[in-house]
Amino acid sequence: MARRNNLLFTLRIIFLVVVGILLLADIYLFCFNSYINSDTYLSAHLIPLPVDDVPPTVTINGGDDINVALGTTFEDDGVTAYDDRTDVTVDINGEVDTNTVGEYSIEYIVTDEHGNSTTVTRKVNVLEPTGVIYLTFDDGPGAYTSALLDVLAKHNVKATFFVTCAGSDDMVVREYDEGHSVALHTCSHNYSSIYSSPDAYFEDLAAVQNRVKNLTGYTSKLIRFPGGSSNTISTRYDGGSRIMSYLAREVENRGFTYFDWNVTSGDAAGVTTPEGVYERVVNALKPGGSSVVLQHDIKGYSVDAVENIILFGKEHGYIFAKLDASSFTAHHGVNN
Ligand SMILES: [Zn+2]
């Protein structure tokens, strides 16, 4: 009987030792394999891997139902996919002919390494637009630029920023990185100095051009005169030289393109609510043509109107674009 107890005791000791070894091995494997991945860790224990039947999650970048104007280019922003276990591959089916009005769809099939797949579809409408809206924002970056960029990204709208030397460098970089047009509005925006002489103007313009260049690598040649080309405030500082008549020609001689606007939001002239800005803008849009909208991203109430302006525009068949050197310039008459 005592022998039998001894045997049981010995077996118990052996069992505990084995368990102890397994436990230590487990800690070792965990430490070692945490450098590899969870699948390796599990297979090292000879435990069958749970079946992976979870497909990747996929979101469409830039919206699942978008309008593209006839004759422009369609830029596919693709999808963002996540899988809990493996890498994924993305297959894309479908094409968009932006030279033919119609409804197109693009299918994105995202498959993980265990064969689970998720398919999402983007509808792309190529349409003859009601008109083109160029949203433009002067005098920034400022306190509201970040929120504005968020709204533009949410609706996949590209805009134009006529920047100064004010505000955060990071915002200028964001504007550029997120595909907007970074244009120039002078560095100081100080009427009394910039309109005192052509040299003073061009020196100030070069300063903001360099700011953008240093931050983004991009040399912008798109400009807007503070006060617009039609301003008469320059008469106070130019000593009677009719500086705007000279500058309007000279900037073009130097390879710049200047833009005014044909839709004003009033956000720098008495309109001080998002509702007021919205009303002014949507009532002044140009069906069948180009609308260059003037707003200021240093005015919170103006930035707060942007989302509704975008929704109105999209709902009424407008497309949104950023300004480039070949865009409609909305020139005013020069008055000085
Ligand atoms: Zn300005």
3-class secondary structure for 148-187?
Answer: HHHHHHHCCCCCEEEECCCCCHHHHHHHHHCCCEEEECCC
DSSP assignment letter at 270: T
Ligand 1 centroid to residue 189 C-alpha, Å: 7
- In this prediction, residue 333 has a pLDDT band, given cuts at 50, 70 and 90, of very high
pLDDT at 154: 92
Tokens of 267: 């956000």
pLDDT the model gives residue 41 = 53
Residue 315 contacts by C-beta under 8 Å, 6 or more apart in sequence? none
Centre of ligand 1 from the C-alpha of residue 311, in Å: 26
Residue range 9-62, pLDDT digits in tens: 888 888 778 767 766 665 555 545 545 555 555 555 556 667 999 999 999 998
Q: Distance from the CA of 194 to the center of ligand 1, in angstroms?
A: 12
What's the CATH code, domain 131-320? 3.20.20.370
Q: What is the pLDDT of residue 115?
A: 95
Q: Are 196 and 237 in contact (CB under 8 A)?
A: yes
Question: Does residue 190 sit in helix, strand or coil?
Answer: coil
Domain ranges of the chain: 2-44, 57-127, 131-320
262-308 confidence digits (pLDDT tens): 999 999 999 999 999 999 999 999 999 999 999 999 999 999 999 99
CATH code of domain 57-127: 2.60.40.10
**CA angle 85-87-91, nearest 5°?**
130
N-to-C CA span, the chain: 119
Q: How far is the CA of 61 from the centre of ligand 1 (A)?
A: 33
23 CA to centre of ligand 1 in angstroms: 71
Selected residue with higher pLDDT from 17 and 227: 227
Helix axes 169-177, 198-216, angle to 10 degrees: 70
Per-residue pLDDT tens digits for 86-138: 999 999 999 999 999 999 999 999 999 999 999 999 999 998 889 999 999 99
CA of 27 to the centre of ligand 1 (A): 65
Q: Distance from the CA of 308 to the center of ligand 1, in angstroms?
A: 23
Looking at every residue in the chain, the average pLDDT score rounds to 91
Tell me the pLDDT band of 236, cut-offs 50, 70 and 90. very high
Which one is catalytic: 138, 204, 238, 304? 138
Percent of the chain at pLDDT > 90 equals 77
Residue 85: pLDDT above 70? yes
138 is catalytic: yes
Question: Which residue type is seen at 70?
Answer: L
Please report which confidence band the pLDDT of residue 75 belongs to, taking 50, 70 and 90 as the band edges: confident
Rounded Cα distance between 248 and 243, Å, is 9
Active-site position among 180, 185, 189, 296: 296
Task: Tell me whether domains 57-127 and 131-320 share a fold.
Answer: no
Task: Give the pLDDT confidence score for residue 14 in this predicted structure.
Answer: 83
